[in-house]
């Protein structure tokens, strides 16, 4: 028999358990995991102490990120320009005649970015000291921006493509549940591992309850992923899908929860990806068709877009 | 039977062992682990060779960090300014007439930060060479500061919220010890794992001794943590809490030592968090009440602040 | 009996399985893994959404990387210079008389790099604002370049040397398949682990099929790798090589697929390396000769170049 | 019975095996592992292709690193200055009258560091273009230097203190081999793990042979390391030390090879440390004395310097 090769196996083999989503609840729920891997959970009651600036700034969209950067840069310049302005018309020399504040603003931007043209220059002790301080702030600020940009740009992520449908396919003498994955990127993913849970909803009069069962896989892990990988759950007598019909899966609001884990050779990091198939994304009696051909020189030619191609049996 | 699924299990299953704190000691001790995860241990006898500047500068408070930065910047400027001053009044041109040292200081700050306005400029071979060297030092110094700032800002940390109290709650036909955790941040924590130790103090006449026992958990690990996770230790005949009363726990100065480990998807790092409940933070005969409701559109609505909510049975 | 000590063992012990390459195909194929660890797979059908700029820019050659950097820098300067040019001849002061566009280009480069000589300086409100913006863009751009350069330079990689040939060598009373590895670099590799698969091709009339078998190793992992490590597969009655001849290996297009994993102490990262031996890279009846001698002062003197030295038995 | 809880156990339990050092050799050898964790191995036969600049520059001493930086900076300036010089006396304006090369050198340093005072400025098309290129080179060069400095400064390392001596200490009714470790730094080390091998030398007439045996540990791993950890190998009938005398250990040139692994909470990295005790660093019939006392307020007061304190029994 195949077992899920991970910490806590004994637990997962139990007929019913909670993988960290909930079991009991009091209303109709949407699917547990969206196709992009997010959960349908709304969070309340967090305080400012739970806010981690780095996590936020690494997660926001690029548009938001650059808008925040530009706003911060402008705000700092306005603040420093105001102080130079307060220091009086002789604090700075050069610049745009007749507009002391804008001159201060330009000078501030040239100091904060350390560009320092010198066409506007500090001309009093106070302005010199403030410029020395502003240049320090500028360097530190851009150090943080550098770190954030690098953190955003180099943040490990997988881009594993899933077949649009899971299949109930013939398997030996019986049937199996299958889905297929491919690495949509060119980098190497090593030792990908899959875990698959079946979530069903049980209605007992007014009470509803979600049940979770780990599905045994023919092979929970492979060594490499240069081609496609068909993850196979044999529907044997131990399977919760044994003797089930398509109608029963609809009624039970069945959903497959999938967690893929792999080592990314370019990021040198473990990457995770979640996915889910609902009852209406399962095709009965079909088989995946190969996504690759053999090239004239003996290469395997993989068509990433064909990861979901299947044929009815 | 449930076992703790981690390296070294055999050890933890022994009735008594030392997890790295001490067993024998000669006086009244405070709790072993504080609620913020720190140990009540004072360290002596370390030498300067044990000092690791990066570890220190990444760990000090932000106020201390910026004070050290500002102090270092000022000190470097004073040192370089002194050398320019020693080079004589013609080493630099421009600047504040009549104050050679301050002119040198301003020039130094403009060189160190590479702002280089040019309103003060080197005017001798020695000053030119020194400025070339100072700009190099400035770039390297700010490289280090950039690294430290990034190290501080991007340092992985978990912010797992614990229920304020652990509960002795009904469980099947018997009882269990429970506490509840929640991820206070929005990022995904994957495969959180818990380990729970019970520490008790045994007095045998004048000698005192700490005993540690690993508590079996109904489920030592879950797959995801989008909601709350109730960690449950069933009090069966193998449990060291079997047939114990609240008074006995007080007398034994019982303390639960907790270690949570998870994979943080945003940091792409394993994160750890320690916590502890003492005998006076355990509530008898209570149950946690749900911390989430079902929203109108089928979302689960989690109230992070309710992680500790319980009701007496 | 020796088992492969890794996740998913149960699978690998099966007579036939697919490690992530394919089993069934319809034409003559080249070797599965090249000596540099790459797969003979050509990818099609990816879209721009699968493109990850960081992964690409970290993987391209140094020549391409610097060409892209230089092109990007020049393009940005041309764009900004065009805007300064459009602002008219009085937007900037100083510079090369009579050539407004080149003056704008030089000014742009001095602003983007924050060098800011000041010999060309902004002289209108629009030019001042644009320069403030360009310096910001420059700092952010170079932040990204800094991150990319660091990512390229510090990207973990192993440089494990393999013997040019695998050997069928005497072993106890029988025979074994052996190959030898060495760390070609000076840094410490800790706990190297090897996995070895045998791939053979089975022809059944017109249909061809690749079979994969995990080979049991005498010792799948060692603690350190300061010297050479001879990886040994004993050819016992459980081995797929049992009673095979050299001719049979040629006929079956036998190929050994090798995956080495180790912890690199300098990178503080896990590193992987793949390798492969084909039937024509296997020498029968030979033994590796030592690659080290004992120095006069009791040191072991390792000659990395001798990792592949063997002698016929 | 206690087993070593790590991958490859089956192997380590064998009476004799090679952990990656060698078994057979032809002359007197020094100790296998020095006290600083390095091996007594000299490497030959590597080529320039095995050279990894980052690994080298991260590993050299700070003095060498800064000398290389200064040399590289000077060399770049000399090269660029030569080109400016070749461009003729009108390529640059300003600077030190009468010394065209030094003026070019100063200008180059101001451009490379992006300090750009402007007191020397480019004055021809060629000089302007070259300055634009040099500033780019400077920014990229300092990007690499920033990365290297950060890589050096933030490189994970443990500083685990070992007792100067290993002890043969009473244990239950028999004896045990013990040594004690402490974290010399303030940061948290989580789940430290120890592996201990005994190396002995066997002489059989002219041939010498090193034998390695993994020693079973009472507890191969603890959860935390805020205090000291005494690693204990019980000398039972399965131990290779059973019924051995001190003279026999001298004769066999016995050496204990130790590998400690832990998770460093501040670096967020796994750290390793090696150590070794030779026969002449083992004390018979002694016990470690506590390295901590209880403070007046209930804190444990650890004296890191007392990690090696012992008393004869």
Which residue of chain B is at minimal alpha-carbon distance from A43? B302
What are C185-204's pLDDT values in tens digits?
888 898 999 999 999 988 87
Nearest to A117 among C29, C118, C269 (CB): C118
The confidence band for A11, taking pLDDT boundaries of 50, 70 and 90, is very low
Contact residues, chain D, for B124 at CB < 8 Å: 96
Read off the pLDDT of each residue in D291-306 and give the average, rounded to a whole number.
86
In order of start, what are the domains of chain C with their CATH numbers? 9-39+159-312 (2.60.40.1400), 50-153 (1.10.287.70)
Gap between the Cα atoms of C144 and C146, Å rounded: 5
The confidence band for A31, taking pLDDT boundaries of 50, 70 and 90, is confident
Report whether pLDDT(B6) > 50. no
Instruction: Describe the strand order of the beta sheet including D207-214 as a list of residue ranges.
Output: D24-25, D207-214, D189-204, D255-264, D269-278
Contact residues, chain D, for A116 at CB < 8 Å: 116
Which residue of chain A is at minimal alpha-carbon distance from B188? A38
Identify the weakest region by mean pLDDT among B168-177, C215-224, C249-258, D4-13. D4-13
- CA distances, C120 to each of B119, C123, D121 (Å): 14, 9, 9
Read off the pLDDT of each residue in C25-37 and give the average, rounded to a whole number.
77
| CB D302 within 8 Å of CB D290 | no
Higher pLDDT, A194 or A26: A194
Which residue of chain A is at minimal alpha-carbon distance from D119? A118
Gap between the Cα atoms of C225 and C273, Å rounded: 14
Q: Which residues contact C134 (CB under 8 A, 6 or more apart)?
A: C80, C108, C111, C112
Read off the pLDDT of each residue in B136-146 and give the average, rounded to a whole number.
91
Read off the pLDDT of each residue in A144-168 and give the average, rounded to a whole number.
89
Gap between the Cα atoms of C94 and C123, Å rounded: 9
Q: What is the mean pLDDT of chain D?
A: 87
**Is B195 near chain D, with CB under 8 Å?**
yes
SS3 D280: helix
Question: Residue D26's pLDDT is what?
Answer: 65
Question: Residue B8's pLDDT is what?
Answer: 31
φ, ψ of residue C294 in degrees (nearest 5): -100, 125
Report whether pLDDT(C13) > 80. no
What are B27-62's pLDDT values in tens digits?
677 788 888 888 888 888 888 777 888 888 988 999
Instruction: Answer yes or no: do A267 and C19 touch at CB < 8 A.
Output: no
How far is the alpha carbon of B206 from chain D, nearest alpha carbon, in Å? 15
Query: Which of C73-87, C265-279, D90-104, D264-278 ranks highest by mean pLDDT?
Result: C73-87
Nearest to A185 among C22, C50, C58 (CB): C50
Gap between the Cα atoms of C128 and B310, Å rounded: 62
Gap between the Cα atoms of D166 and A191, Å rounded: 41
**Is C263 near chain D, with CB under 8 Å?**
yes
Q: Quickly count: other Cβ atoms within 10 Å of residue A194's Cβ.
A: 23
Report whether pLDDT(A294) > 90. no
What are B219-258's pLDDT values in tens digits?
999 988 888 999 999 999 999 999 999 999 999 999 999 9
Instruction: Answer yes or no: do A304 and C44 touch at CB < 8 A.
Output: yes
Question: Residue B20's pLDDT is what?
Answer: 73
Gap between the Cα atoms of D66 and C143, Å rounded: 23
Report whether pLDDT(A56) > 80. yes
Which residue of chain C is at minimal alpha-carbon distance from A219? C11
Read off the pLDDT of each residue in A218-242 and give the average, rounded to a whole number.
92
Q: Testing the interface with D: which of A5, A7, A54, A118 to mutate, by most D Cβ within 10 A?
A: A118
| CB D262 within 8 Å of CB D271 | yes
Q: Name residues 136-165 of chain D within 8 A of B (Cβ).
A: 142, 145-146, 149-150, 153-154, 157, 159
CA dihedral B275, B281, B285, B289 (to 10 degrees): -60
Instruction: Answer yes or no: do C150 and D155 touch at CB < 8 A.
Output: no
Q: What is the mean pLDDT of chain A?
A: 87
Nearest to B41 among D69, D110, D226 (CB): D226
Question: Residue D48's pLDDT is what?
Answer: 79
Question: Residue C49's pLDDT is what?
Answer: 78
Q: Name residues 98-127 of chain A within 8 A of C (Cβ).
A: 99, 102, 105-106, 109-110, 113-119
Question: Residue D287's pLDDT is what?
Answer: 94
DSSP 8-state code for residue A279? G
3-state DSSP helix/strand/coil % of chain A, to nearest 5: 30, 35, 35
Higher pLDDT, A295 or B63: B63
Alpha helices in chain B (DSSP H): 9-13, 53-59, 62-86, 100-112, 125-153, 246-251
Q: Testing the interface with A: which of D5, D54, D115, D116 to mutate, by most A Cβ within 10 A?
A: D116
Question: Residue D118's pLDDT is what?
Answer: 92
Instruction: Answer yes or no: do C118 and B118 touch at CB < 8 A.
Output: yes
Nearest to B266 among A59, A122, A132 (CB): A59
**Is D208 near chain B, with CB under 8 Å?**
no
**Is A222 near chain C, with CB under 8 Å?**
yes
Strands C41-44, C310-312: pairing kind: unpaired
What are D57-105's pLDDT values in tens digits?
988 999 999 999 999 999 999 999 999 999 998 999 988 878 899 999 9
| CB B213 within 8 Å of CB A79 | no
The confidence band for D182, taking pLDDT boundaries of 50, 70 and 90, is very high
Gap between the Cα atoms of C188 and C267, Å rounded: 10
Alpha helices in A154-197 (DSSP H): none
Q: Which of A243, A248, A230, A235 is nearest to A288 (CA)?
A: A230
Instruction: Give D293: exposed, middle or buried? Use CB within 10 Å, 0-12, 13-18, 19+.
Output: middle
- CA distances, A193 to each of A260, C226, C302, D51 (Å): 6, 32, 38, 34
Question: Residue D134's pLDDT is what?
Answer: 96
What secondary structure does DSSP assign to chain C, as a single string?
-----STTHHHHTSSS--SSS-SEESS----SB-TTS-BSEEEE---GGG--HHHHHHHS-HHHHHHHHHHHHHHHHHHHHHHHHHT-TTSEEESSTT-HHHHHHHHHHHHHTT---SSEEE-SHHHHHHHHHHHHHHHHHHHHHHHHHHHHHT-----EEE-SSEEEEEETTEEEEEEEEEE-SSS-EEEEEEEEEEEEEEEETTEEEEEEEEPP-S-SB-SB-SSEEEEEEE--TTSTTTT--HHHHHHTT-EEEEEEEEEETTTTEEEEEEEEEEGGGEEESEEEPPSEEE-TTS-EEEEGGGTT-EEE-
- Listed in order, strand segments (DSSP E) in chain B are 24-25, 41-44, 92-94, 120-122, 160-162, 166-171, 174-183, 189-204, 207-214, 228-234, 255-264, 269-278, 282-284, 286-288, 292-294, 300-303, 310-312
| CB D183 within 8 Å of CB D189 | yes
Q: Testing the interface with A: which of C30, C108, C118 to mutate, by most A Cβ within 10 A?
A: C118
How far is the alpha carbon of C289 from chain D, nearest alpha carbon, in Å? 12
The confidence band for A17, taking pLDDT boundaries of 50, 70 and 90, is low
Nearest to A19 among B110, B153, B223 (CB): B223
Report whether pLDDT(C207) > 90. no
Q: Name residues 56-75 of chain C within 8 A of D (Cβ).
A: 69-70, 73
What secondary structure does DSSP assign to D162-228, as a single string?
E-SSEEEEEETTEEEEEEEEEE-SSS-EEEEEEEEEEEEEEEETTEEEEEEEEPP-S-SB-SB-SSE
Report whether pLDDT(A5) > 70. no
Question: Residue D121's pLDDT is what?
Answer: 93
Read off the pLDDT of each residue in B80-101 and give the average, rounded to a whole number.
91
Percentage of chain D beyond pLDDT 90 is 54
Measured in residues, chain A has a length of 313
How far is the alpha carbon of B47 from chain C, nearest alpha carbon, in Å? 25
Question: Residue C17's pLDDT is what?
Answer: 65
How far is the alpha carbon of B248 from chain A, nearest alpha carbon, in Å? 32
The confidence band for A46, taking pLDDT boundaries of 50, 70 and 90, is confident
Report whether pLDDT(D8) > 60. no
Task: Give kind and range of the element (H or E) at residue B119.
Answer: none
Gap between the Cα atoms of C33 and C211, Å rounded: 15
Instruction: Describe the strand order of the beta sheet including B300-303 as a list of residue ranges.
Output: A41-44, B300-303, B292-294
Report whether pLDDT(C83) > 90. yes
Read off the pLDDT of each residue in B114-127 and give the average, rounded to a whole number.
93
Question: Residue B39's pLDDT is what?
Answer: 84
| CB B2 within 8 Å of CB A14 | no
Gap between the Cα atoms of A266 and C309, Å rounded: 33
Number of CB pairs, chain A paired with chain C, less than 8 A apart: 210
Contact residues, chain B, for C140 at CB < 8 Å: none
Report whether pLDDT(C116) > 80. yes
Question: Residue C26's pLDDT is what?
Answer: 65
**Is B190 near chain A, with CB under 8 Å?**
yes
Contact residues, chain C, for B117 at CB < 8 Å: 118
Report whether pLDDT(B63) > 90. yes
**Is C13 near chain D, with CB under 8 Å?**
no
Instruction: Answer yes or no: do A117 and D118 touch at CB < 8 A.
Output: yes
Question: Residue C129's pLDDT is what?
Answer: 95
Percentage of chain A beyond pLDDT 70 is 93
Which residue of chain B is at minimal alpha-carbon distance from D151? B147
How far is the alpha carbon of A29 from chain C, nearest alpha carbon, in Å? 31
Contact residues, chain C, for A153 at CB < 8 Å: 53-54, 144, 147-148
ipTM of the complex: 0.81
**Is A295 near chain C, with CB under 8 Å?**
yes
Read off the pLDDT of each residue in C146-155 and give the average, rounded to a whole number.
85
Instruction: Answer yes or no: do B110 and A139 touch at CB < 8 A.
Output: no
Half-sphere exposure of C164 (CA within 13 A, CB side): 6
Strands D189-204, D24-25: pairing kind: unpaired
**Is B7 near chain C, with CB under 8 Å?**
no
């Amino acid at each position: 028999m195949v077992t899920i090769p991970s910490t806590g196996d004994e637990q997962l083999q139990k007929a019913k358990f909670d993988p960290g989503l909930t079991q009991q609840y009091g209303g109709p729920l949407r699917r547990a995991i969206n196709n992009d891997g997010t959960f349908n959970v709304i969070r309340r009651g967090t305080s400012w102490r739970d806010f981690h600036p780095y996590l936020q700034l690494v997660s926001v969209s690029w548009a938001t990120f650059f808008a925040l950067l530009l706003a911060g840069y402008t705000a700092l310049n306005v603040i420093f320009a105001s102080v130079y302005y307060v220091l009086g018309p002789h604090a700075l020399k050069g610049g745009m005649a007749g507009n002391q504040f804008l001159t201060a603003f330009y000078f501030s931007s040239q100091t904060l970015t350390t560009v320092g043209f010198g066409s506007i220059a500090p001309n009093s002790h106070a302005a010199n000291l403030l410029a020395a301080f502003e240049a320090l702030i500028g360097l530190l600020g851009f150090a943080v921006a550098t770190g954030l940009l690098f953190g955003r740009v180099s943040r490990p992520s997988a881009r594993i493509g899933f077949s649009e449908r899971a299949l109930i396919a013939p398997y030996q003498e019986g049937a199996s549940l299958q889905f297929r994955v491919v690495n949509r990127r060119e980098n190497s993913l090593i030792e990908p591992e899959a875990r698959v849970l079946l979530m069903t909803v049980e209605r007992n009069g007014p009470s509803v309850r979600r049940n979770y069962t780990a599905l045994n896989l023919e092979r929970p892990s492979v060594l490499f992923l240069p081609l496609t990988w068909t993850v196979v759950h044999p529907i044997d007598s131990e399977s919760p899908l044994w003797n089930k019909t398509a109608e029963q899966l609809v009624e039970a609001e069945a959903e497959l929860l999938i967690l893929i884990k792999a080592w990314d050779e370019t990021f040198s990091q473990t990457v995770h990806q979640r996915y889910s198939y609902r009852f209406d994304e399962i095709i009965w009696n079909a088989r995946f068709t190969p996504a690759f051909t053999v090239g004239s020189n003996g290469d395997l030619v993989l068509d990433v877009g064909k990861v979901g191609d299947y044929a009815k049996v």
